[in-house]
Structure 1
């Protein structure tokens, strides 16, 4: 008997829906909302279905704040909200395709809180498993922040050390025995030749020592990052 009643009601809904279409009346019965948004080509009707979904969301957001709701009820309501928000998004994409308002560009004031890829609303955020996920996320963020601060501090220390490295650090500006020997030479040509060789030697030593220090600094940085 109940099956016959359901069948009769279903036929009645379809008949009423068809009459509404012929009369240009927008349908708002949640039971008649199509699962495939593409099946609706009328912009006004698409907007109406979005409004219907917003009503469903509003009702569940109120219920999920109920302090007497059980954990199981909160889980069910949160799952339903996730489905309705997904459906709402689908209608908004379709409305934009039909040339309607770009609802996607508007910020959604109902954000909830993300945990492990799932958004939780109202008292669902107080569920034990959700609290554990939120705690783990916070600890992970704190650890990443600490590591970033440590890397920045080491980079600043190394940069300060590099700024302090000059030719005096390697003793390149101190007079050498070769310089004194060049100055004592009487032959001008030989003196110029010695000065040229000495200058080339200092340049080579300077480049070599600075290169060594830079390689040593990079190696130390690599060991610290390990």
Structure 2
């Protein structure tokens, strides 16, 4: 409890520690949490701007989600040190926009105009139970072109594809062999017999002899 009463130095605007566990003072943790809350509020306000381009909306939405995770980390650290429990404080009391999740299983939220982005709006209109972070980014960034288009497969999917191709190849080979057996050659068909093919040395000797014969015929 001594860490709760102890006051450490805190300078407004200074960079927050990446690891919240390195801060053992509740007042300092509360100051850092407060700075995160203010930063979230500013970005939530900015993401409502109707003139922002799509790429800035996506970047802002990712940044807000990241800051929300950081806020949660500071709140857990404050609670661990014996300070107030901020984890039960509703985000609706802190921000004008709580964000909206695609499903209960996915913690990622969409704020402001991010909910109207192409690909995102369809996610809310589609009846789905879970959208992974990887799938969500593909929907936002690639729109129509999904992972299947680029051939991105999991190990299990790739194994199934290889097995399918192997079976298809074997089936095709059996069909070719069967058609070769069933197909009869014409009545006047004769097998072409190919003699022994000369090697490189023999070919060179043959060519040399032809040159000699041609030269002798000119001399005559």
Report the TM-score when normalising by structure 1.
0.48
Higher RCO (CA < 8 A, seq sep 6+): 2
